[in-house]
Amino acid sequence: MKPQLALMKALLIMMPAAMLAGCGVSGPANVSGLHQVVGTDLLGARGLTDGDQRKIDRTVVRLCAGRVYSAKECALHDQD
């Protein structure tokens, strides 16, 4: 009975530790796909001019097309 109890204790300790180890935060291995979706229009845009707003709109359209934002979030951007 004691070996089974020891095994159960070990499992009860190790399972949560193993699960937490898998939930860490790490950066993406490759961001080229994200770069293709987002593009470079947003760089330097401050939203002060019509040209800046077009850059922001192009970036949001690409993020909506890439399904980074939900349809509901994309609809919020289209509201005036």
- 76: containing domain: 30-80
C-beta separation of 53 from 47 below 8 A: yes
Question: Is the residue at 44 inside a domain?
Answer: yes
pTM above 0.75, yes or no: no
Task: Please classify residue 58 by burial: count the beta carbons closer than 10 Å to its beta carbon, then call 0-12 exposed, 13-18 middle and 19+ buried.
Answer: middle
Domain count for the chain:
1
Top pLDDT among 8 and 20 is at 8
Check: CB of residue 36 under 8 Å from CB of residue 19. Answer: no
- The more confident residue out of 31 and 76 is 76
Domain membership flag for residue 37: yes
Say if 66 falls within a structural domain. Answer: yes
pLDDT greater than 90 at residue 50: yes
Residue 10 domain flag:
no
- Look over the chain and give the mean of its residue pLDDT values, rounded to a whole number: 78
Q: Is residue 13 part of a domain?
A: no
